[in-house]
Structure 1
Amino acid sequence: MTDSDPARTPHRSSPFGSDELDAARTDLTTGINRIFAASAMSASGHGNISVRLPGHPNLLAVNAGDLLAPWPAGDLRVAAPGLRTVNDQVVVVDLDGEVVAGTPSPSVAAILKMHVGVYRTRPDVNAVIHTHSPYATSYALASVSLPARYEALLVHGQAVDIPVAPWAPRGTAEAVRAIAETYQAHPQTYGVLLGNHGLLVAGDSAVHAARLVVAIEEAAVSSIGALGLGGPVPFPDYVKDLDLRLRF
């Protein structure tokens, strides 16, 4: 296949090449499939993942539609009968939330600025994942911070409790501002619970963000299970002097 093949070539005016789009799609696929493998994606398919486009830190690649099944990791052109091409699966937006290439579904279009707001607030991160992971969402519905009392959270860099951003209608300026303000108020957190909605996780990479989504869901399941046994016990004080973070 050549770069002139329409199945892999972005719009002519796009400031990036097909190889960069393919690399971003591979990152998205890796993150998406890790979450599905761990059963941390809700059955509704309401979830989205974005990564910075390689070589273009001011551009983001985002899944274009609902996440109802894992993405095939092989052929980027036609991975299965009826499956759309890579350009149909991925939309590219800039840090103003303007679509540069691709066509987002109405559901994805409504949340693009939510992703953009995280990258603007946290310029150190390279991936953002939003899910309705059921047990983490239980904490969001209760507007209760998820305590960082599960070692896997520390392993993935989430050493502080996961705060809750107050609810506002999805995709609105109020919702974007609430998320940004929550990250600003909690600069050490990667994850934020979205009040009455779901979970939002930033990461150093798509793999990091996906691993943390899974760890957060495990923490939520285990924390709820521990409530009948007296509740999750805090780590000893000396944990603050330890660096348990693993870099994958």
Structure 2
Amino acid sequence: MSNLAVAEQVQVDIVKFVQQFEQEFEQAHQLLLKSKTLSVTEAGNLSLRVPGEDKLVIASFNGAGHGVAGVVDFDLKSHAGTLSPSLAEVAALHIAILRERPQTNAVIHTHSPYLTAWSIAGRPLPVRYATLLGHGTDDVPLAAWGARYAAEPVVAALRAHPNAYATLLANHGPFTWADSVLGVAKQLVFLEEAAYFTFLAEQLGGARPLPEGAYEAVQAGKKKFYAA
């Protein structure tokens, strides 16, 4: 097979990858709408690493080009498809997260109401809701404020919290990452639900810590019932 034929095959594969991403993106969008995880303006974006390449596809939940993906090189020197200046700017932060978490593939950022409220309050989200124990016992950390989508505060938070699967960017909103488009959307829904319930508990006298050994008990239960 000639080099030209190989290049054409790679291009076809990327086209199919983008098409599949856009289909899954729309499913994720509907999930976030149904669960009220997006803000009123639906601000947010979601990206997916292109397997085997230093590229990602990314699309926004709102705006004129919502749901239409652009392909961006990790070096930010070239791109294809629809890529507004705003989406190009946030893509740099998605890329920084993927570089710090090479084992993950998808990143999502939104202005989800309760998670964003925690970020504006300057507070990490504590693990008080049992559902979050599926990811461990570490609180969702707070990254320091950064101008627009400055990567440095988020990268610093990831390095300070190597087990973190999400972070709250101070006075801005959440970022979380997972293996797939739908997986990262579901993860965000769980986080928003936890932020909501923990907020309510704070109004009722305070969110109480989980008992000692709660994480181990949850893991033992999962091993017993989900081993197959």
TM category, shorter: 0.7 to 0.9
Distance 1:232 1:188 in 2: 23
Corresponding residue to 2:71 among 87, 92, 116: 92
Name the amino acid aligned to 2:32: I
Q: Which has the higher helix share?
A: 2
State the Cα RMSD in Å.
2.7
TM-aligned CA deviation for residue 24 of structure 1: 2.1
Name the amino acid aligned to 2:24: D
Distance 2:108 2:128 in 1: 22
Name the amino acid aligned to 1:210: A
Q: How has the CA–CA distance of structure 1 residues 146 and 85 changed in structure 2, closer, same or farther, with 3 Å as cutoff?
A: closer
SS of residue paired to 1:200: strand
Structure-1 residue corresponding to 2:4? none
Structure-1 residue corresponding to 2:62? 67
Matched, 1:43 2:22: no
Distance 2:164 2:179 in 1: 12
TM-aligned CA deviation for residue 84 of structure 1: 7.0
Deviations 1:175-205 (A, max 9, x none): 2011011011111111100101011011122
Corresponding residue to 1:26 among 16, 23, 26: 23
Question: So what's the TM-score if we normalise by structure 2?
Answer: 0.84
Length, aligned pairs only: 215
Structure-1 residue corresponding to 2:140? 162
Distance 1:212 1:84 in 2: 25
What percent identity do the matched residue pairs reach? 32
Distance 1:34 1:149 in 2: 24
Distance 2:206 2:65 in 1: 46
SS of residue paired to 1:193: strand
Structure-2 residue corresponding to 1:77? none
Structure-1 residue corresponding to 2:124? 145
Gaps of 5+ in 1: 1-10, 69-82
Structure-1 residue corresponding to 2:5? none
Distance 1:216 1:153 in 2: 8
Instruction: Give every structure 1 segment of 4 or more consecutive aligned residues whose post-TM-superposition deviation is greater than 3 Å.
Output: 11-17, 83-86
Question: So what's the TM-score if we normalise by structure 1?
Answer: 0.78
Structure-2 residue corresponding to 1:78? none
SS of residue paired to 2:193: helix
Structure-2 residue corresponding to 1:189? 164
After TM superposition, the structure 1 = structure 2 runs for residues 93-112 of structure 1, keeping only pairs within 5 Å, are: 93-112=72-91
Structure-1 residue corresponding to 2:194? 219
